[in-house]
Structures are given as structure tokens and as C-alpha cells.
């Protein structure tokens, strides 16, 4: 019983949670969502550019995109954030002052773009080559065929993986605390960590973790719903085009009756 009491007081102290709750709601949650959503938008745009460049027939577009992707996928996220946030801090001080958010968002966006670019590239490559050939036969140029025919189909196929990357980005946003945050700039993790360090009790950090779960778990179920919907849609399309089992495969189509009234 003493062990259970110690665990409850250390991780589930309601008074400590109640004390940290207002700051987590009013400061930590908005800052976390700001970091994650802004980085997701920028990372998605850069990721699409990387995917298109990586599939280009021109080497001067393909090779830089591949090198960029390999570098930012291979480096740990903490190393990238520190390199950009600390290395470019003199430039940031001259442009926007001591706010570390722009450099943190830049680092998170570059990390996300490397992964999202590979997700988009795999989705585009999964589209049958005949789709682009059919678009070219209809008079589309190659860029127009890619933009209007191939890319929309590829993006639709990788939506679950894309949402999974957004979930990872929400969790990686906690690493921005390495750059040093003011009291009004702290995210969920930093507020929970500060409260735990000041009180010696981990309940506030557990509550911060619960906030992350509240944000990410619905997204996880949304991923499953999207994936299930897409798979069911493909099955329905296949069933719609499948011949009826009761109808003979070689039966001729019914002739159209043409009648003409007498003049």
C-alpha cells in the first residue's frame, strides 16, 4: 500500500494538477498548436516541392532534393533544432528579436518536409503510369498532367501516412524548449517540466502528457477512419465494375429497339 500511495502522490496528485491546469490551457496548448500547425503547413508545401523535384528527369532538380531529404531524415530532430535555432540566432535577433519561435518553426518545417516529401513521392509513384500517358493523349502537358491528374490521386492514397506525420510533428514540437523560451512562450512540455522541477512532483508533467493524448489520439482514430474509408471506396469501385455473377460473361448486350411512327 505504501508503494501505491507513493505512486499516486508522485504522478497523480490532483492538487498539483489543478495548480498547473490553467497555465497548460491558456499558454501551453495554444503555443504547442501554433508550433505544430505552422510547421505542418510549411512542411507540406516544401514536401510537395521536394517530391516533384525528386521525381524530375533533370538532375539539377533531382539530386539536391534527394540530398536534402537524406540529410534531414538522417539527423536527429534535437540536433537539427539546435543547429538552426542556435546557429542562426544572430540573424534572428536582427530580424525579429529574441523570439525563438520562427527558428523553431523553421527547423520543424525542414524536418517535416523531408518526411512529407518522401510520403508524397511514394504516393505519386504508386499512381499507374498510364494515367499520365492518358493525360498526355488528351492534350495535357507533362506538368499539367502531373498537377491535375497524377498528384491528386497520389495525395489521396497517402492521406493516412500524412496525418501520422502530423501527429509526430505535434510531439516533436516539444523539442523547441532547447532554444530557451520565455514564460509566455512555453509549450505543454515545458510548463509540465517546470512545474515538476519546482515541486518535485511529476503530476503536472503527467497532465501535460494527457493534453498531448487529447490532441493526438483523435487524430490517430481519424487516420484509421480515413484509411478504412479509402479502402472501402476502392473495394466499392471494384465491385461496381465487376460483372454480375448471375449474368453470363459472354451474353450480348440487349439491342436497342428503334421504332418509327408512320407519317
pLDDT along the chain (263 residues), means of 10: 77 88 92 93 94 87 92 93 89 80 92 94 85 81 80 83 90 89 87 88 91 90 78 58 47 41 41
- pLDDT score of 263: 38
Q: What is the pLDDT of residue 26?
A: 92
pTM tops 0.75, yes or no = yes
- Residue 170 is predicted with a pLDDT of 92
d(CA 148, CA 245): 36
Residue found under cell 471506396: 233
- Give the model's pLDDT for residue 92: 78
Q: What is the pLDDT of residue 229?
A: 78
Cβ burial 171-209 (10 Å sphere, 16+ → b, else e): ebbbbbbbbebeeebbbbbbbbbbbbeeeebbbbbbbbe
User: What confidence score (pLDDT) does residue 235 get?
Assistant: 55
Amino acid at each position: 500500500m505504501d508503494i501505491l500511495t507513493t505512486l499516486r502522490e508522485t504522478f497523480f496528485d490532483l492538487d498539483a494538477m489543478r495548480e498547473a491546469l490553467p497555465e497548460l490551457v491558456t499558454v501551453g496548448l495554444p503555443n504547442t498548436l501554433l508550433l505544430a500547425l505552422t510547421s505542418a503547413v510549411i512542411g507540406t508545401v516544401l514536401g510537395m516541392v521536394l517530391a516533384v523535384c525528386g521525381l524530375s528527369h533533370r538532375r539539377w532538380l533531382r539530386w539536391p532534393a534527394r540530398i536534402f531529404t537524406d540529410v534531414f531524415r538522417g539527423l536527429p530532430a534535437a540536433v537539427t533544432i539546435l543547429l538552426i535555432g542556435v546557429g542562426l540566432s544572430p540573424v534572428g535577433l536582427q530580424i525579429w528579436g529574441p523570439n525563438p519561435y520562427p527558428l523553431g518553426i523553421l527547423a520543424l518545417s525542414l524536418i517535416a518536409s523531408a518526411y512529407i516529401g518522401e510520403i508524397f513521392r511514394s504516393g505519386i509513384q504508386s499512381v499507374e503510369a498510364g494515367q499520365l500517358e492518358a493525360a498526355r493523349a488528351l492534350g495535357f502537358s507533362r506538368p499539367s498532367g502531373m498537377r491535375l491528374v497524377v498528384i491528386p490521386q497520389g495525395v489521396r492514397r497517402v492521406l493516412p501516412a500524412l496525418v501520422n506525420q502530423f501527429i509526430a510533428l505535434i510531439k516533436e514540437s516539444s523539442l523547441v524548449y532547447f532554444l530557451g523560451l520565455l514564460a509566455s512562450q512555453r509549450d505543454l512540455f515545458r510548463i509540465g517540466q517546470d512545474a515538476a522541477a519546482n515541486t518535485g512532483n511529476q503530476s503536472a508533467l503527467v497532465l501535460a502528457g494527457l493534453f498531448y493524448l487529447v490532441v493526438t489520439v483523435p487524430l490517430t482514430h481519424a487516420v484509421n477512419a480515413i484509411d478504412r474509408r479509402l479502402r472501402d471506396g476502392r473495394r466499392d469501385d471494384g465491385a461496381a465494375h465487376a460483372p454480375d455473377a448471375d449474368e453470363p460473361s459472354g451474353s450480348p448486350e440487349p439491342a436497342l429497339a428503334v421504332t418509327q411512327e408512320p407519317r
